[in-house]
Every structure is written in C-alpha cells, then in structure tokens.
Amino acid sequence: MKKIFFYNTLTRKKEEFKPNDENEIKIYSCGPTVYYFAHIGNLRAYLFMDTLRRVLKYNGYKLKHVMNITDVGHLVSDSDEGEDKMLKAARRENKNPYEIAEFYMDAFLKDIDKLNIDRPEIIARATDHIPEMEEYVKKIIENGYTYQTNDTIYFDTSKLKKYGVLSNIKIKDQKAGARVEFDQNKKNITDFALWIKAPKNHIMKWNSFFGECYPGWHLECSAMGHKYLGENFDIHTGGIDHIPIHHENEIAQAMGYCGEIPANYWLHVEFLQVNGSKMSKSLNNLYTILDLEEKGYEPSILRMFNFTSTYRAQINFTFEAMDSAKVALKRLREGYLKHKEGTEEVLKTEIDEYKDRFLEAINDDLNMPVAMSIVWDIIKSPKKSKDYAELLLDFDRVLGFDLDSYVKQETSLPEEIQKLIRERNEARANKNWVESDRIRDILIEKGYTVKDSKDGTIVDII
Ligand code: AMP
Ligand code: ZN
C-alpha cells in the first residue's frame, strides 16, 4: 500500500493520511444550498469531492461519506446577516421554500449524475434533522458556551481556549479591524447564531424549547456529522470560502458540544474564476451544466477541464480552455479505443511502472494534472496494446470518464448507425435542430429508439 498525503488546512502542512479505522474512512462534505441551480464553480467543489472518494477507493478503502443539503438557515451572508437564501428564492419564484428546495435539490442531483460524480453514501437534508440539531444546541447550552437574547441563542466564542484554529484569526484583531456591520446583540464579533426565533410570517420554523425557531446554518453540519460519523472522523471537505466562518463555527460548536475538533484532516478546494474574475450574475458570467450543454459542451468536458489544475489552485474558466478540454476528451476516448483494438504485447514491468507513477500522483494530494500527464504518455504510445487499454480502464476508476461504457456504445453498432450518431451529435452541438431531427427520423426508420443523454445521442434497437 502506498502512502497518501493531503494538505491539511488545520495544520497548514501536507501530511501523511492516517485513518482512525483502516476498515472505513469517514468523511463529511459541506453540500449545496439548494436555492438555485449549481454553477460550474459549485460543481468544481463536488468534482473535487468525487476525486477524493475515487482516490481513497482506488487505494482499497471503504467509505462512509456524508454530504448535507442545506435547505434552511443559510443567510445571504455566511455570518448571520441578511435573509435566509431559501426564503429569498421562494419570493423570487413565487413558491414556498419547500418547493424551492425540492426542485433545486433534484436539479443538483441530476447535475452531479451527469458529471458522473460518485455519490456519497449518505445525503442528508438539514430539514430532516431538526430534532438532532435541537439536541445538539441543548448540550452546548448545558456545557456553558452560549448566551441568549430575546430571539437568538448565540455561541459565545470567547468561552473557547481558541476560536479560529483553521484560519488562525484572533478575536481582538477582528474587533479592531472589523469591516462587517457588528450585530449589537453579540458580545464578540465572531459569535454566531445557533438557534433563532422565527418571525411570525417565517415559513420554515419548528416548535422547540425556545419557541418556534429555525437553526443557524452552521449547526446542521455539526449535528449531522455527529449523528452519522461520531465525535471524531477522518476528513472534512468544503470550499475555501468555508474556512473563515462556516468551518470555524463548526469546530467551535463541536468544541462546545464535546471538546473535540470533529475531523482530523480539513481539505478545501480553491475557487473557479471566469475570465479572471469572480463568477457572478451581475457580470453575466455564471454558467450551469445546462448552459454548457446548450453551447455543445457535454459534462465530461468540464471534468477534463478541472483536471488541468490541482484542487488547491485557482482555475480560470474560459471557452478556449473548454475547447481544448473537448479535444482532449476526444483524444482520450479515441486513444483508448485504438489500444483496445491493438494487438501488441507490453511487458508487465512497464505496466507496473505506469501504475506506480499514477498512484504516486493521485496520492500526492490528488495531483490530477500529473496523473493526466501519465495518461497522455500511454495514449501517445505508438505501440497499440490491449494491456494499455486495460490500464486506462483501471485509471478511469479515478478519472471517472466512464470510458468503457462510452466506447461500448460507440462500437457495438453497425458503422452506418455510428456515422449517423456522430453526425447527429455534431448537428446538436451546432444547434442545428432541423438536421438533428432529420437524422433522428432516419434512425427511427432504421429500427432504433433515440434518446439524448449527457454523452450525446443514445440509440437502442426497437
Ligand atoms: P453554496 O451552495 O453556496 O453553499 O456553495 C456550495 C459549494 O460551492 C461550497 O463548497 C462553496 O465553497 C463552493 N463554491 C462556491 N463558489 C465557488 C467557485 N467559484 N469555485 C469553487 N467553488 C465554489
Ligand atoms: Zn457545512
């Protein structure tokens, strides 16, 4: 077994990964707030989560991985300011927040399926865990880490030996240099709401020891992590934006609850930028999977694009880079196919050497650009061999391009039908719907059913 190394935000070092229990790795990932479609930046976070899962599985580990779905309590600003994102969305779409959550959770799960993201074993919705959250708050209160105002129970961060272990912040400095508006009810600027009394017209609220309330955003991750993974688990993931508030507060809550930092390794994925700037609606540069599909980029191209950078580096999204990723994906599929049809022999030592290099790369804090460079070496080899094809399939357990099923679909059909499918995919990519429909009719006439999928046209014999 090869060692695995992760950069741990908690210790600010790359460290060897030592699980609590070799038989099962326990992971918690902060999931989406389901108030809108996930954009390609959000999806980078889940592609990173997917690679982490695949790398651990490739190393032979079993996983127990929890991802939450935030469907209540996440205010517009991460630090308890503004309106609940769900309620704001409900107003925008003239629906109730439960309908919003249902719709966008479904859309999110479809997106991650399209990206072939390996789903965590447990996907847990915040609103399904209100009793667990209430119990969690009660224990923090019992342990003396809170104070209450008329309408809110706050976590008192000054009660901790140290608040801010991830980002190394000091409460005093925060006060002095604070730019955020200071909520006058709080004793310290870093204090945060655990449990909040709901105003009368608030739809998402639950009867509790403190009246009709709703939970603060950070609470769900502590309560659900604790429920499924216990007081101390192996890995916690999220985006870098979670470091200074959300994850600090999760750690604070767990310290207040049981005196332990909940996870041993904290992994954070850097942001995706678009043309060098932040993605935002106002800059009109916010893209979803559907937007990409409409522009002729199947979801696997985004996966390929993401592998051009390590998860700890910022990545800059441009359509030129997506075009290169499109070409690369085609090269990978065609290269795999050529090896699959190859007849030459490859020495076992050579295969082993490739395997070793690949494992070294992925175990070095998920270094996918290096892992892909090894893949390209194999694709480029003038020797065409089934052994290489098998090796690529083995690597695909980590890469997640689903090479085999793609190729099976491509090669099991008569050449004439394959050609029609290629032409139809091309027509669809160019938004030539008339041509696409014309080819569909020909395929149907020839005895095939026609469906559109993430990988283009899929046909079946009627
Ligand atoms: P949210 O749904 O807003 O809670 O965000 C879901 C996840 O997406 C979080 O892990 C964020 O850190 C992450 N995220 C948001 N914007 C970006 C971005 N531009 N690049 C990468 N990750 C992002
Ligand atoms: Zn979280």
Q: How far is CA 258 from CA 43, 134, 162, 231, 262, in A?
A: 33, 15, 15, 7, 9
The mean pLDDT value for 414-431 works out to 86
Atom of ligand 1 nearest to the CA of 38: 2
Query: What is the residue with the minimal CA distance to atom 8 of ligand 1?
Result: 42
- pLDDT (average), residues 341-357: 97
- Pick from 37, 39, 42 the residue to mutate for probing ligand 1's pocket: most ligand atoms within 8 Å of its CB: 42
| Model confidence at 211: pLDDT above 90 | yes
The rounded Å distance from CA 279 to ligand 2 centre is 21
Residue 169 has pLDDT above 90, yes or no: no
DSSP string, 167-188: TT--HHHHHHT--SPPPTT-SS
Q: How far is CA 52 from CA 4, 47, 110, in A?
A: 11, 9, 20
**Nearest alpha carbon, ligand 1 atom 14:** 42
Range with the largest mean pLDDT of 202-206, 305-309, 419-423: 305-309
Nearest CA to ligand 1 atom 19: 41
Nearest listed ligand to the Cα of residue 35: 1
Q: Is the CB of 436 under 6 A from ligand 1?
A: no
CA angle 214, 217, 220 (to 5 degrees): 85
* Whole-number Å distance between alpha carbons of 410 and 413: 7
Q: Ligand 2 center to residue 238 CA distance, Å?
A: 7
Predicted local distance difference test score (pLDDT) of residue 176: 39
Q: What is the pLDDT of residue 56?
A: 98
The larger pLDDT score, comparing residue 178 to residue 71, is at: 71
3-state helix, strand, coil in the chain (%, to 5): 50, 20, 35
Position 289, amino acid = I
Report pLDDT digits (tens) over 83-116. Answer: 778 888 888 888 888 888 999 999 999 999 999 9
Q: What is the pTM of this model?
A: 0.88
The alpha-carbon radius of gyration of the chain (Å, integer) is 25
Task: Name, of 73-82, 220-229, 418-427, the range with top average pLDDT.
Answer: 220-229
pLDDT digits (tens, 9 = 90+) for 435-451: 999 999 999 988 888 88
Question: Which superfamily is assigned to 5-269 in CATH?
Answer: HUPs (3.40.50.620)
Rounded distance from Cα 75 to ligand 1 centre (Å): 15
Give strand ranges (E) for 146-269.
Answer: 146-148, 152-155, 192-197, 206-208, 211-215, 233-239, 263-269
Domain with CATH 1.10.730.10 in the chain: 274-405
Q: Tell me: the pLDDT tens digits for 262-302?
A: 999 999 999 999 999 888 777 888 999 999 999 999 999 99
Phi, psi values for residue 229, rounded to 5°? -120, -10
State the distance from the centre of ligand 2 to the C-alpha of 269, rounded, in angstroms.
14
Q: Is pLDDT of 213 > 90?
A: yes
Relative to the alpha carbon of 306, which ligand is closest? Answer: 1
- Residues within 5 Å of ion ligand 2, judged at the Cβ atom: 30, 221
pLDDT band at 172 (very low <50, low <70, confident <90, very high): low
Where do you find CATH 3.40.50.620 in the chain?
A: 5-269
pLDDT tens for 1-23 read 799 999 999 999 999 999 999 99
Q: What is the pLDDT of residues 285-296, one digit of tens each?
A: 899 999 999 999
Give me the pLDDT at residue 181, please. 54
Instruction: Find the range with the poorest average confidence among 120-124, 184-188, 248-252.
Output: 184-188
The top-level CATH class assigned to 274-405 is mainly alpha
Ligand 1 atom index nearest CA of 271: 20
Q: What is the DSSP letter of 115?
A: T
180: pLDDT strictly greater than 60: no
- Residue 454: pLDDT band by 50, 70, 90 thresholds? low
What's residue 344's pLDDT? 96
